[in-house]
Amino acid sequence: MRRWKGCDPRTLSERGRETGGAMTDTENATTKSATLIVHLEGLDQDGGDVRLANFLNDLDTVRKLLNASDKIVSRERKPTSDYRISGLIHESPAAIYLTAEPHDQTKNFFDQTIEYLFSSLVSIRDYRVIPGNATNAFLDNAVRLKEGLGTRFKRLWLETGKDRTAAIDKKLKDALDDLISSTIVSWGSVKGVVELFNSHSDPCAFNIYTDYGPQNVKCVFKRSMMDKAVEAVNHTVTVTGELKYRPRKLTPYECSVEEIEIHPSDRELPRLEELYGIAPDATGDVKTLEFIRGIRDEWQ
C-alpha cells in the first residue's frame, strides 16, 4: 500500500483515541488546512482499490456538489471557491483531503457550504425531506453520487476536521430514490441565459440559468433545432415545452424543448430617444397629450 501525503485513513477521532489525543505534525497541518475529507473505498472485486475513471468521476461529482452548496449559501451565480487536494492517502479506503481556495477572502463561505451540504444530506437520508432551497444542481449531483454505490464504489463518506460525517450509503440511496422518483409534468415556459451547451449528448442539451436564484434547468432538444440552439448560446431566451418538476419544487429541473425564442440583448434594443416619431399616426386624430390623459383616466 502506498501513501502519498497525510496519515492513517481512519477517522480523526479514532486516531486521537489511539494516540491519547495526540496527532503527528503532518496530521495537524493537514487537519487544520483540509476542512473536508472524502473517503472512498472500491469494490470487493477490485480488492478495495478504486478504478481511475471512477475515482475521477466521483471526486468531480463531490466538487460539483460542493459548488452547488456554495452557490446556495452565497447566493452567487458562480462558486466562490476552488478546491485543491492538500492530502492524498492510498489505503483501503482512500482518503482525499480538500482545501477551499476562496476567490475573494472577504467572501469565504466554506464553513457555511460544509454545514449546508452535511445538514441537507442528513435531512434527506434520515428524515426523507428535501431542503426547500436545494437547487437542481445539488439534487442532480447527489443522485449521481448515490448511483455509484455498488457500481463504482463500495463505500463513500465525507468527514470534516470535527469528525462530523455524511455517508453516501443505501439509506441515502433509498431516500433519494423515493423522493426523486415521482415527477410532475406540465406544459410551460422558462426564461434564462443559455450556457453549458452540449451537442454530443443524446439527446442534445443545454442549461438555462434563471434570474431567480442559483437555479439551472436542463433543456433537451431535437437535432432539427440545432441551429437555433447554437444561436441561443450566451443569450437570454424563453424555451417552451414539457416541464418536469420534482416534488415540492417550484422550479422545473428539465424541459423537453419545442420552441426557442431568443431575446435581443440590451445593446440591440433601441434607446428611448430613437423611438421619437417612430409611429406618427399611432393615435389617429387624437393629439398625443389627450391620448396619454385618456389612458391614465381609463380606469375611472
The reply to whether 173 and 203 lie within a common domain is no
Residues 249 and 151 in one domain: no
Quote the DSSP letter at residue 199: S
The residue range of the domain holding 228 is 184-262
- Overall number of domains in the chain: 2
Which one-letter DSSP state was computed for residue 265?
Answer: P
Q: Are residues 14 and 161 in the same domain?
A: yes
Residue, of 274 and 170, whose pLDDT is higher: 170
In this structure, the answer to whether residues 100 and 45 fall within a common structural domain is yes
* Alpha-carbon Rg for the chain in angstroms: 26
> pLDDT at position 96, please?
95
Residues 139 and 198 in one domain: no
- pLDDT tens digit sequence for 71-129: 999 999 899 999 999 999 987 799 999 999 999 989 899 999 999 999 999 999 999 99
Q: Are residues 122 and 229 in the same domain?
A: no
pLDDT at residue 30 above 70?
no
- Give the integer Cα–Cα distance in Å for 9 and 201: 38
Looking at the fold, whether 134 and 145 belong to one and the same domain comes out as yes
Whether residues 15 and 82 fall in one domain: yes
User: 3-class SS at 94?
Assistant: strand
